[in-house]
Chains A and B, each alone.
Chain A
Amino acid sequence: MSTDTVDEIRTTVPVGAVYAPGSRLDWSEALVPGDVVLDERVAPNAPWSAVVRAGDVLTIVDVGGNQSADCLMFNAHDPSERYSVPDTLAWQGNAYVREGTVLRSGLGHPLMTVVGNEIDRQDTIGGACSKESNTLRYGHHTAYQHGCRENFLAEASRHGLTSRDLVSNLNWFMNVPVEADGALGIVDGLSAPGRRVAIRADMDVLVIVSNCPQMNNPCNEFNPTPLRMIVTRSEDTDR
């Protein structure tokens, strides 16, 4: 590096990767019936948020397959009540998220429930990637890269939240096994293009998602793809 001449130094912004041309994309549809009240696409590397009303169901589509959708949830009316990994795990007595898992707050209250799931298990142990943790995991040469924590902070700030409000999160479509000796890590995913998860809001919930930009591990198959977010409302939950 120190031998570079000035005209060899890049002067364009080093933005994150997006999916390769020809990648298979399957935009799918909502996993549960109901009137569509929101239908949005999340670009690779980008954040997203919405308030999902109690009783409504959010379908997240893994459009390109094995694209981690890092997710935080808050009580929309009092965001000091928020998703809690340990409460969710302790109440169900299991470390993995599957159909039927109740996603609980730190007060033990149900925020959302997994009502449909098209992969074997979902992760809530692995946490979010960040510029800071990338320096530990991969080296300081990755510090410039975008991360999920950046997405969380940017999106949270639009709702008046700060780093104090960020906690360990859920990772839809990411695979983190825990082995017998406690070894744990992010390995190749269990999902595929068009696979979905559906989560029903048990109260009015602010959902924040980061479409993970990580390019140093297999949490998006090294090929960041879009997500589709669909909120549906069934007649019997209308109010």
Chain B
Amino acid sequence: MVGTRDTASVLAARADARAQGANVSDWMPYLPAATSPFAPHGVDPSTLVWAETVAPGGYTHKVVARGTRLRLEDVTGDACAHVLVFNALEPWERLNVADTQKIPWQAYLGVGHPLLSGEGRVLATVVADTSARHDAFCGTSSDEWNVVKYGDAAPQGPSPSGRAQFTLAGVKHGLTPRDLPPSVSFFQGVRVEDDGALAWQGSAGPGTYVDLVAEMPLIVLVANVPHPLDPRTDYVVGPLRVHAWRTAPSSPADEHYGASPERERAYLNTTDYLEARGL
């Protein structure tokens, strides 16, 4: 006996373990995804393939099929979803932030913005955005940064760094620190002033969401940690809700597909690659 719990024998310990299975926490995956208590309105629950609430400071990751629509929701207004995406077939093809800003001639992420790889292809497209407060300049926090700012950066501590969480998420897909490029983040905005100064814009408030459509089979890594430039000196971050469901990849019928010649060629390159692979 430990306190009121009987775990003295294997049988008793097994009964004790099994009695916990029906518990719930504020931060958990919901399986099957169709049973999510927070399924997005207007989405047929039977199409859900991923439903989860990520803890403050936590991370999540999954391989998703081409045509999956991924919704990230900032429940409290204090989430910050740091995101990396990789071609699941050849993961050395991955998010390239410089190309993601340069090729659309636009530094700020918003509806229709493609997340481009360094291979001239689209990994994912932003297809909905009720926040408009995002950042592609500052990446995520390093251990060094969090130790200076909060005094600790370890994944098991009170102020995990984004890099520490990406490292754990990535290694579960065979990725190492070499495979982690600069990331983008959603829900906490930064703007560049005339002299180049990075100005904090922060959150658009609670209840906003961003939807991404996977244009390829993707490894998705998400770290939910404070933005590096968050001016608050304590480690403030809210839970992040994640849902994904089966839809279709972008096609010429979508306004963003042909919104610029650069983007149209990026989708053409993506289709060319996938068709040659028989996908």
Chain A residue at minimum C-beta to C-beta distance from B179: A164
Q: B105–A132 contact, CB under 8 A?
A: no
Bound CA span A199–B137, Å: 22
Q: Say whether, besides A107-B144, A130-B118, A132-B119, A183 and B98 are in contact (CB < 8 Å).
A: no
**Interface bin, chain B:** 35 or more
Residues of B within 8 A of A149 (CB): 118
Q: B180–A106 contact, CB under 8 A?
A: yes
Chain A residue at minimum C-beta to C-beta distance from B94: A164
B27 adjacent to chain A (CB < 8 Å):
no
Q: B262–A136 contact, CB under 8 A?
A: yes
Min distance, Cβ B87 to any Cβ of chain A, angstroms: 12
Chain B residue at minimum C-beta to C-beta distance from A121: B196
Q: B97–A85 contact, CB under 8 A?
A: yes
Residues of A within 8 A of B178 (CB): 80, 164-165
Residues of A within 8 A of B36 (CB): none
For chain B, residues 196 to 235, give those with C-beta under 8 angstroms from any C-beta of chain A.
196-198, 228-229
Residues of A within 8 A of B96 (CB): 127, 168
Q: A136–B137 contact, CB under 8 A?
A: no
Residues of B within 8 A of A182 (CB): 106-108, 191-192
Q: A137–B262 contact, CB under 8 A?
A: yes
Indicate the member of A130, A184, A186 with the most B CB atoms within 10 Å. Answer: A184
Q: B142–A106 contact, CB under 8 A?
A: yes
Q: A93–B198 contact, CB under 8 A?
A: yes
Q: Say whether, besides A80-B176, A126-B102, A137-B262, A168 and B181 are in contact (CB < 8 Å).
A: yes
| Interface residue from A106, A132, A186 paired with B118 (Cβ < 8 Å) | A132
A166 adjacent to chain B (CB < 8 Å):
yes
| Interface residue from A132, A133, A139, A178 paired with B107 (Cβ < 8 Å) | A178
What are 15 pairs between A and B in contact, CB < 8 Å? A80-B176, A84-B139, A86-B139, A89-B138, A89-B198, A90-B228, A95-B192, A106-B180, A125-B101, A125-B107, A128-B98, A135-B120, A163-B118, A182-B107, A184-B106
Nearest first, the 3 A-B pairs at minimum CB distance are A127-B98, A86-B139, A108-B144
Given A136-B266, A165-B178, A185-B105, 20 additional A-B pairs, CB 8 A = A80-B177, A80-B178, A89-B138, A93-B198, A94-B196, A95-B197, A106-B163, A107-B142, A107-B144, A108-B144, A132-B118, A136-B116, A136-B262, A136-B265, A139-B265, A149-B118, A163-B92, A176-B102, A182-B108, A183-B106
A→B interface (CB under 8 Å): 80, 84-87, 89-91, 93-96, 106-109, 121, 125-128, 130-137, 139-140, 149, 162-169, 176, 178, 180-186
